[in-house]
Structure 1
């Protein structure tokens, strides 16, 4: 899952971005509306976490424009992160188009829980993801196949989680690079193939991730 984090407090942005990356999310962090809009014109995000009080304007305007400006790629979900805690502010944020609203200061565990809830809402999944005999628990950060624990690296786990949210969909290498890797990652899709090969080896037989030559990859229940 790739996240856009718009936060003008550099220290807070660094802490939140590091925590999210430790939880196997890909994160692009920016501090101004202009930077956020530049990314939103070229990059597809699963979630945007947006502050409201910013040095170059009000983030609420960006939340509203995401539903009206065809030049902006609206993330699947929008989460407002702000110090504005009045009921009216919450109502304004949700009415502008946000999917959730979290007031600062917040516990990081709650932010992670809300991100998991937004992912479930987007994909219609339960709290534990299951495809065939593969099971992934985003809250416990565990993955199993046929009841056996899988020892996955952070990138392997993030890749499997993205597949698990989209069972049966054909995902290109570019799709995977866009949503599982962030702007600091190796830009060559060969890195996708390397991590995918390792993940397949750990998942074992029979294979559950199939290759459609020239098209992409698909996660499906093993026969």
Structure 2
């Protein structure tokens, strides 16, 4: 946990232990980065309002040097709770965004959701092929559609798996939230942001961005051609 509010960390650390989660604290960005160099954790809790360096700059440094800091999913915990702040963070690539103050059980649920998939460097336990060429590799966090392969985050993978599992049926944002580890209290805009990011990833690689289709007023689905 990289947060200058050490009192918060010291308060929740023993509570998290009851759920089997060990929390290490760093009160400054530099201490947090040094901690990541020493020991690659299962997840990182990152505050946005930090001394020395803005939280987004810390995030960029971590993601720019995975060989140094690892591939751990990053959950932003911030008092910046406006929709714009959350969307900017998610579009930048953070894996989740939790506004302060938060409920401990929600934090635990989100940590469990983003860490339940194998790490990026682990061998893939199984690949899910489809006849149109859609492949979801959960172990490597990669998605391939019509021959174009992109890297995705844990949440993006969960969203793709959820849509793929219903074989072309439409899922609303409310349907999708629990399938990616979020409760009804979560902002439905998270789903829109994830869909946008997935499309942008394929578009940036010259692929087909319509791997996910929007059904106006209903939700999202995988193209029907995948299942024929």
TM-score scaled by length of structure 2: 0.49
TM-score scaled by length of structure 1: 0.50
Which of the two has greater strand per residue? 1
